[in-house]
Amino acid sequence: MPGLHQHVGKIFADLAVPDPLADGGDLECRSPVDGAVLGTLTSHTPDQVSAVIARSQAAFEQWRTVPAPVRGDLIREFGQLLREHKSALGTLVSIEAGKIESEGLGEVQEMIDICDLAVGLSRQLHGLTIATERPGHRMMEQWHPLGVVGVISAFNFPVAVWSWNTALALVCGDAVVWKPSEKTLLTAIACTGLLRRAARAAGAPEDIATLVLGGRQAGEVLVDDERVALVSATGSTRMGKQVAPRVAARLGRTLLELGGNNAAVVAPSADLDLTVRAVVFSAVGTAGQRCTTLRRLIVHRSVKDDLVRRLTAAYRSLPIGSPLESSTLVGPLIDDAAGQAFTAAVGTARAEGGTVVTGGTVHEQISQELGGCYVRPAIVDMPAQSTVVRTETFGPILYLLTYDDFDEAIRLHNEVTQGLSSSIFTLDLREAERFVSATGSDCGIANVNIGPSGAEIGGAFGGEKETGGGRESGSDAWRNYMRRATNTVNYSPDLPLAQGVTFS
């Protein structure tokens, strides 16, 4: 598709951020829309990454002395810039991550929303006052800035997940070094450029927001550097299992948001019209490339035929094509490797006894016409929760499982290693409450009558088991980015000891 490169140039001009693309770099920037190279960038060497961390540390030391509500002013300014440039940034997300127009804009909206939340939080980072057992004493908690936060992000939410971390970390008084996915460097450069513009305008140290470009090696430097107090990493469980022990070896902190294998239970009483709409969005939105994508549908036998018929009709009418066309609902997969993984998983599902109900193939015609990798979203009916069903394949494959009694549904639901998001579709109060109770879904997110994807930023986002246990975004996730100090102040002339100990 001619013109994508020029389009990117215009977007950077609109943002007043220099167009970073050059020839001859080792990192190729590709658009999944047409698979073509937009230009190149150059990786940071390990020494350069280390120098960025040093600059970040220096910025932190200055930034932590700025009162939190004043730090909030910077985030308000950044949110304002995001509002002004929403359309340009949304298009850049679509070009670089292949999201359809509405989801590209939604990603920018997610950044705006977290900025609003962070601005409010900047006046609410409070600790407790705790009753002490000693007369003439006061005990309290304070939350102090933590230090340099390393953010490692994935291609599928190329900027939103960074913004969750960054907006909170900055109001908390930290500085952020970001290593974005090599697949989505341009949106990272654009958003960092805007944030640094806001910092300049606010008189804040620009190096509170820095970027390191590169692959695994650049990430490893960040992970191993003891000046990085917190490593917040989003990506595969495999990546998390490598990052976590390395950070733990230096007793650093991690915040992990790893793989999901999200399921929905469809009970006999489900409102099937609503269920179909929710399932299609959750399973097919972002071409199945969300951590929260619906991958397993656990359906009661009594409604299965009806539901499958309706879902199949909905799937067959999905407009697949360029994400830059406003009518498209299914854009490309991120690259050809993702297409191969998709086809391979469908093949494995067949080998494990599955029946492909619809889709499951590369859309050759559209892929050839446009140049990217476009697939037909798949529904595969499985006789059991076999290996492939337990594996997260980052593409639009929905596995159907059948249940007869509710305990069996819950068992199937929880019988995977991942624990991010989950849903139940039911009008039965007992089932709904059971699902969100301690003996129901074991995920970090459990919904009733909405799909597992598309969370708002106000809730804590993250999951259990191999999803990594981290919580980002709303609620009290800000605490990850601060250190807690417990202070006991004695305003009496006596020195009573705790637990009644005497020492004289």
Give catalytic residue positions: 257
Interface with ligand UN1, residue 451, by CB under 6 A: no
Among 231, 455, 477, 482, which residue sits at the site for ligand UN1 (rule: CB under 6 A)? 455
Contact 413, 262 (CB under 8 A): no
Interface with ligand UN1, residue 258, by CB under 6 A: no
Stretch that binds ligand UN1, among 77-85, 376-384, 432-440, 452-460 (CB under 6 A): 452-460
| Residue of 339, 336, 332 lying closest to 98 (CA atoms) | 332
Interface with ligand UN1, residue 454, by CB under 6 A: yes
Q: How far is the CB of 86 from ligand UN1 (least distance, A)?
A: 16
Interface with ligand UN1, residue 481, by CB under 6 A: no
Interface with ligand UN1, residue 187, by CB under 6 A: no
Stretch that binds ligand UN1, among 120-128, 136-144, 408-416, 451-459 (CB under 6 A): 451-459
Interface with ligand UN1, residue 166, by CB under 6 A: no
Distance of alpha carbon 393 from alpha carbon 443, whole angstroms: 18
Pick the closer one to ligand UN1 by CB: 187 or 453.
453
Distance of alpha carbon 377 from alpha carbon 374, whole angstroms: 9
Pick the closer one to ligand UN1 by CB: 73 or 392.
392
Burial of 126 (0-12, 13-18, 19+ CB in 10 A): exposed
Interface with ligand UN1, residue 290, by CB under 6 A: yes
What is the three-class DSSP state of 347? helix
Among 291, 307, 330, 477, which residue sits at the site for ligand UN1 (rule: CB under 6 A)? 291
The structure tokens 């269920």 sit at: 275
What is the maximum alpha-carbon separation in the chain?
88
What is the three-class DSSP state of 495? coil
Contact 101, 326 (CB under 8 A): yes
User: Which helix H or strand E contains 239, and what residues bound it?
Assistant: helix 237-249
Pick the closer one to ligand UN1 by CB: 96 or 381.
96
Q: How far is the CB of 454 from ligand UN1 (least distance, A)?
A: 5
Q: How far is the CB of 421 from ligand UN1 (least distance, A)?
A: 7
Interface with ligand UN1, residue 292, by CB under 6 A: yes
Interface with ligand UN1, residue 453, by CB under 6 A: yes
Q: Which residues contact 309 (CB under 8 A, 6 or more apart)?
A: none
Stretch that binds ligand UN1, among 16-24, 156-164, 172-180, 247-255 (CB under 6 A): 156-164
Distance of alpha carbon 170 from alpha carbon 343, whole angstroms: 42
Interface with ligand UN1, residue 181, by CB under 6 A: no
Interface with ligand UN1, residue 256, by CB under 6 A: no
Interface with ligand UN1, residue 161, by CB under 6 A: yes
Q: How far is the CB of 156 from ligand UN1 (least distance, A)?
A: 5
458: number of Cβ within 10 Å: 13
174: number of Cβ within 10 Å: 26
Interface with ligand UN1, residue 279, by CB under 6 A: no
Interface with ligand UN1, residue 234, by CB under 6 A: yes
Among 57, 156, 165, 210, which residue sits at the site for ligand UN1 (rule: CB under 6 A)? 156
The encoded tokens of residue 252 equal 């650093």
| Residue of 161, 170, 165 lying closest to 119 (CA atoms) | 170
Amino acid found at 368 = Q
The structure tokens 């003996």 sit at: 439
| Residue of 297, 486, 313 lying closest to 400 (CA atoms) | 297
Q: How far is the CB of 250 from ligand UN1 (least distance, A)?
A: 26
Amino acid found at 340 = Q
Q: How far is the CB of 474 from ligand UN1 (least distance, A)?
A: 11
Distance of alpha carbon 119 from alpha carbon 124, whole angstroms: 9
Q: Which residues contact 207 (CB under 8 A, 6 or more apart)?
A: 55, 56, 58, 59, 175
Number of residues written out for the chain:
504
Interface with ligand UN1, residue 261, by CB under 6 A: no
- 347-376: which residues touch ligand UN1 (CB under 6 A)? none
User: Which helix H or strand E contains 487, and what residues bound it?
Assistant: strand 482-490
Distance of alpha carbon 108 from alpha carbon 104, whole angstroms: 7
Interface with ligand UN1, residue 162, by CB under 6 A: no
C-alpha 12, offset from chain centre:
24
Q: Interface mask (CB under 6 A) for ligand UN1, residues 107-126, using x and -?
A: ---x----------------
Stretch that binds ligand UN1, among 91-99, 321-329, 423-431, 450-458 (CB under 6 A): 450-458
Interface with ligand UN1, residue 157, by CB under 6 A: yes
Stretch that binds ligand UN1, among 119-127, 134-142, 389-397, 447-455 (CB under 6 A): 447-455
The encoded tokens of residue 310 equal 């309706």
Pick the closer one to ligand UN1 by CB: 161 or 388.
161
Interface with ligand UN1, residue 422, by CB under 6 A: no
Q: How far is the CB of 287 from ligand UN1 (least distance, A)?
A: 12
List residues near ligand UN1 by CB under 6 A.
Answer: 110, 156-157, 161, 234, 290-292, 453-455
